[in-house]
Amino acid sequence: MKYYLLSILTRCGEFEFYKDVSIKVESDDDVSKAARKVVCDWYDDGDPGGRDGPDADGVYWYDNGNDVRCDRITEISKSEYEIFQKYSI
């Protein structure tokens, strides 16, 4: 098992927001695919037609006008992952 910290960038008009999300991925799985799944489900309101993408840069566009992408992927330790999960940071 490997652990990662994803830096998710959301753009809403002229504003940009970052949120760090910790995930765990099986050792033989591709972390890029796992990151795209997180971005794809960022605004999961049950409407599969509520988003377009990803484009060539991995950006998803949503009906609410926002676009979301994974800006950075950092491998972290299991203990760091547990801290992120416990404190939702």
Whose structure tokens read 């979301």?
A: 68
64 contacts: CB under 8 Å, gap ≥ 6:
43
Per-residue pLDDT at 42: 83
Per-residue pLDDT at 48: 62
Per-residue pLDDT at 65: 80
Q: Which residue spans within 1-89 are E strands per DSSP? A: 2-12, 15-25, 51-52, 60-62, 67-76
pTM of the predicted model as reported, rounded to 2 decimal places: 0.83
Per-residue pLDDT at 72: 94
| Count of Cβ atoms closer than 10 Å to residue 3 Cβ | 20
- Measured between its terminal Cα atoms, the distance across the chain in Å is 20
Contact 1, 22 (CB under 8 A): no
Tens digit of each residue's pLDDT, the chain (89 residues): 999 999 999 998 889 999 999 999 998 899 999 998 888 888 766 666 677 878 888 888 887 788 899 999 999 999 999 999 998 75
